[in-house]
């Protein structure tokens, strides 16, 4: 099942996206590290759902958005993209800052989406511990802090096993700069988000790695309490990257949740 790459024009910004699969639409929003494309878990989920995986404005091969200053802005942008791409009422899955975007998007317009999957999202301030300062650590060190055990990751060599090219380094810097613009003040959370999460009664699955050293599991427990119809699934021996660290388990969780019965 080969995905296709395309450009979606939204508000004058060209958004690079991977698209493929069959079935109901699932929009996948990536984290601060950028869009990793058609990885192992995506390939499995695409057997049951049509995956739309856009690259955020200011990241990767998408156009710039110099006016965009917050995760709120990015969430409103993706509501626009849903309309521009004709996705109807898609399921939405977001990881890390992409999960934060998905949560904000859901509070803004819960009827615009179907089911919601949040994977170790930012957005809430931990009651215990703190969110790691991802801008302090060099890339190799941050990667080590982001995963529990690299030796167990099936795609480790494919994703991280060689030195980055000059173009990839340039893209990484661009991604980091845009992440900083969107998340720096206040750092990695929105003090008002907790007030609006109870509005979201869409079925929601929250996935967290028990050994996450980037965003504490405490935040996952907060999301579960605040969302009206949410389940928290915690993966043992897993850090901040469940889709990469345990792709088969993660894909099964997502498929089972999205195909499950409608919950009250």
Q: How many CB atoms lie within 10 A of CB 200?
A: 22
How large is the average pLDDT for residues 100-106? 98
Which H/E stretch holds residue 18?
strand 13-21
Q: Is 162 inside a domain boundary?
A: yes
pLDDT for 264 beyond 50? no
- Rounded Cα gap, residues 220 and 55, in angstroms: 25
What confidence tens digit (pLDDT) does each residue in 213-224 have? 999 999 999 999
* pLDDT of res. 263: 53
What confidence tens digit (pLDDT) does each residue in 175-187 have? 999 999 999 999 9
Number of domains comprising the chain: 1
pTM: 0.97
Tell me the CATH number at 129.
3.40.50.1820
What Å distances lie between residue 185 and 71, 108, 182, 211, CA to CA?
11, 21, 8, 26
pLDDT for 81 beyond 60? yes
Contacts with 205 (C-beta within 8 Å, 6 or more apart), sequence order: 115, 116, 117, 118, 230, 231, 233, 253, 254, 257
What confidence tens digit (pLDDT) does each residue in 127-164 have? 999 999 999 999 889 999 999 999 999 999 999 989 89
Q: Is 106 inside a domain boundary?
A: yes
Phi first, then psi: what are they for 8, rounded to 5°? -110, 125
What Å distances lie between residue 94 and 41, 72, 162, 231, 243, CA to CA?
14, 14, 27, 15, 11
Q: Is 141 inside a domain boundary?
A: yes
Query: What proportion of the chain, given as a percentage, has pLDDT over 90?
Result: 94
Mean pLDDT, rounded, of the chain: 96
**Which residues on neighbouring strands pair with residue 29, listed in sequence order?**
94
Q: Is 264 inside a domain boundary?
A: no
pLDDT for 235 beyond 60? yes
Range of the domain at 39: 4-258
Q: Is 112 inside a domain boundary?
A: yes
* pLDDT of res. 260: 84
How large is the average pLDDT for residues 82-100? 98
Q: Is 263 inside a domain boundary?
A: no
Q: Is 93 inside a domain boundary?
A: yes
What confidence tens digit (pLDDT) does each residue in 50-77 have? 999 999 999 999 999 999 999 999 999 9
Q: Is 30 inside a domain boundary?
A: yes
* pLDDT of res. 2: 80
């Amino acid at each position: 099942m080969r995905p296709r790459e395309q450009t979606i024009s939204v508000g004058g910004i060209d958004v690079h996206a991977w698209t493929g699969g069959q079935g109901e639409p699932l929009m996948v929003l990536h984290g601060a590290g950028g869009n990793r494309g058609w990885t192992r878990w995506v390939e499995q989920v695409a057997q049951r759902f049509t995956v739309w995986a856009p690259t955020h404005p200011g990241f990767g091969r998408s156009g710039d958005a110099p006016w965009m200053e917050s995760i709120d802005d990015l969430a409103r942008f993706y509501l626009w993209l849903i309309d521009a791409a004709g996705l109807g009422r898609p399921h939405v899955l977001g990881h890390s800052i992409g999960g934060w975007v998905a949560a904000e998007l859901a509070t803004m317009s819960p009827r615009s989406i179907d089911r919601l999957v949040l994977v170790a999202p930012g957005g809430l301030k931990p009651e215990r511990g703190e969110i790691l300062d991802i801008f302090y650590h060099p890339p190799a060190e941050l990667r080590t802090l982001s995963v529990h055990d690299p030796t167990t990751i099936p795609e480790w060599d494919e994703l991280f096993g060689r030195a980055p090219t000059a173009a990839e380094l340039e893209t990484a810097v661009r991604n980091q700069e845009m992440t900083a613009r969107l998340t720096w003040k206040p750092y990695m959370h929105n003090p008002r988000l907790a007030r609006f999460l109870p509005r979201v009664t869409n079925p929601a699955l929250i996935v967290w790695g028990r050994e996450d050293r980037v965003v504490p599991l405490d935040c996952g427990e907060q999301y579960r309490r605040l969302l009206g119809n949410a389940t928290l699934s915690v993966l043992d021996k897993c850090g901040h990257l469940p889709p990469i660290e345990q792709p088969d388990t993660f894909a099964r969780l997502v498929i089972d949740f999205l195909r499950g019965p409608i919950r009250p």
